[in-house]
Amino acid sequence: MPILTWETKGSPEPIKSELIQDSIIYPGGFGYPSQEPENHLILGDNIPIMSALMTDYEGKIDLIYADPPFFSNRRYKTRIGRGEDSRRPSEWQLGEGYTDHWENIESYLDMLYPRLVLMYQLLSSTGTLYLHLDWHAVHYAKLLLDELFGVDRFLNEIIWTYHGPSPIRSAFKRKHDTILIYTKSKDYTFNADAVRIPYNSNTVKTFASSSKAGFGKAPDLKRGKVPEDWWYFPVVARLHNERTGYPTQKPEGLLERIIRASSNPGDLVADFFCGSGTAPVIAARLGRKFIASDLKWRAIYTTISRCIGLDISPISLKIEQRMKIPRTQVPADNYLSFSSNVKRFSIRPEVYDNLDYWEVDPNWDGRLFRSAIQAKRPKRKGKLLGQIDLSGWDGDKAIRFVRLNGEQVQTEIKKNYTSVR
């Protein structure tokens, strides 16, 4: 079997790393339920993160979706604020997104290969990996996955097609991504019935007029068909409700199909390049547990803000020890209204530049921030809520603000306010 080699190719040295607990988020806003978080969101480089997870999760993850940088040689920006409408530039600004910039293909493969090795180790014996790339590097990656999983474990090459404008005039427009699917063994989950789609109207018409049409058995038109290996989903565009402003966000429909096909409710789904969090959000919505990570605070907080309001199990937020936490002071204005026996907690959102959401720990233990009640910037219309109802809580309290502003996500935990204005 041909093997792809290059001078610096190597497996990762095991990295000793620790994941530090930052906080726990209860996205449904229903307080502190007794159960432990089943979902994990981790800030940091995914090599030390996956190495640290190995003790508890080696051979335990049922489905991994990997959507790494594509070798596109671009530096992506994020749209911050109510950034859906480019006709209203006052409502958004550009901030740092993530970098997909490499000296050459070798340095890109030096990033990708060791991470694929770790993902392979974390996958359960019945697990599946989806690797999402495009024409820039997918053909190199195919050889790496053949080497790791074995050629026989290659399940599908999915072509995800979409439309969109393109400046290209000297070649065909490049409007598809490629998703490679590999299974760890012959025994894997594939829920064909969970992803059936309607037959197209021509097929329905043909078989309605003659059941003998086609080559063999008449299809069960009511049950629908298992999709082909080419999928059409529109890209997440400006006016889509699901849009977060995070660059290269993938459509929810795409992830829904992947997660339904290759996992079952209660399974563990991981995405170590989670970006805006499409995979973890959909996994949680479909009753799966998740582990997700990203190098960027902005990605982590975008993922959290998408989870807020969903009735899902709590999320444990951890930080890989080498990451510095950018904590910046919020303006020292006395806009907080707080005392341990007040029934309401209020802020004036307008004094915060681009405050994305704020959250309260209504029973602060002086140590771990537990975000039990959140106010999130609504989509498109409406203002961020300025008041949070605290009736029923009479312990100490802490508040955290998250602003997706400028080049950094800024967070600040404020505690034990007694002053009011």
Question: CB-wise, 262 or 293, nearer to ligand SAM?
Answer: 293
Q: How far is the CB of 278 from ligand SAM (least distance, A)?
A: 3
Question: CB-wise, 130 or 199, nearer to ligand SAM?
Answer: 130
Q: How far is the CB of 123 from ligand SAM (least distance, A)?
A: 18
Distance CA 176, CA 161 (A): 4
Tokens in use for 186? 């012959």
Question: CB-wise, 113 or 338, nearer to ligand SAM?
Answer: 113
Q: How far is the CB of 273 from ligand SAM (least distance, A)?
A: 3
Q: How far is the CB of 2 from ligand SAM (least distance, A)?
A: 27
Question: CB-wise, 101 or 225, nearer to ligand SAM?
Answer: 101
**Residue 145, exposed/middle/buried by CB under 10 A (0-12, 13-18, 19+)?**
buried
**Residue 154, exposed/middle/buried by CB under 10 A (0-12, 13-18, 19+)?**
middle
Q: What are phi and psi of 48, to 5 degrees?
A: -60, -35
Which residues are near ligand SAM by CB under 6 A? 45-46, 67-69, 98, 246, 248-250, 272-273, 275-276, 278, 293-296, 299
Handedness of CA 8, 14, 17, 23 (dihedral sign): positive
Question: CB-wise, 27 or 68, nearer to ligand SAM?
Answer: 68
Q: How far is the CB of 253 from ligand SAM (least distance, A)?
A: 12
280, amino acid identity: P
Question: CB-wise, 153 or 376, nearer to ligand SAM?
Answer: 376
Question: CB-wise, 46 or 410, nearer to ligand SAM?
Answer: 46
Q: How far is the CB of 279 from ligand SAM (least distance, A)?
A: 6
Residue pair 180/142 in contact (Cβ under 8 Å)? The answer is yes
Distance CA 325, CA 322 (A): 9
Strands (E), 5-111: 19-25, 39-43, 61-66, 74-81, 92-100
Q: Which of 257, 256, 189 is nearest to 226 (CA)?
A: 257
Q: How far is the CB of 187 from ligand SAM (least distance, A)?
A: 28
- What does the chain come to in residues? 421
Beta strand pairing call for 19-25 and 315-320: antiparallel
Residue pair 295/13 in contact (Cβ under 8 Å)? The answer is no
Q: How far is the CB of 246 from ligand SAM (least distance, A)?
A: 5
Q: How far is the CB of 179 from ligand SAM (least distance, A)?
A: 11
Distance CA 313, CA 311 (A): 7
Residues with Cβ within 8 Å of 254's Cβ and at least 6 positions away in sequence, in order, are 160, 231, 233, 278
Distance CA 227, CA 223 (A): 12
Distance CA 33, CA 35 (A): 6
Question: CB-wise, 95 or 349, nearer to ligand SAM?
Answer: 95
Question: CB-wise, 100 or 359, nearer to ligand SAM?
Answer: 100
**Residue 289, exposed/middle/buried by CB under 10 A (0-12, 13-18, 19+)?**
buried
Helices 105-122 and 138-149, axial angle in degrees (round to 10): 40
Q: How far is the CB of 303 from ligand SAM (least distance, A)?
A: 8
Question: CB-wise, 250 or 257, nearer to ligand SAM?
Answer: 250
Question: CB-wise, 138 or 390, nearer to ligand SAM?
Answer: 138
C-alpha distance across the termini of the chain, in Å: 72
Q: Which residue is nearest to ligand SAM, using beta carbons?
A: 275
Q: How far is the CB of 66 from ligand SAM (least distance, A)?
A: 9
Could you tell me which residues are beta bridge partners of residue 189? Answer: none
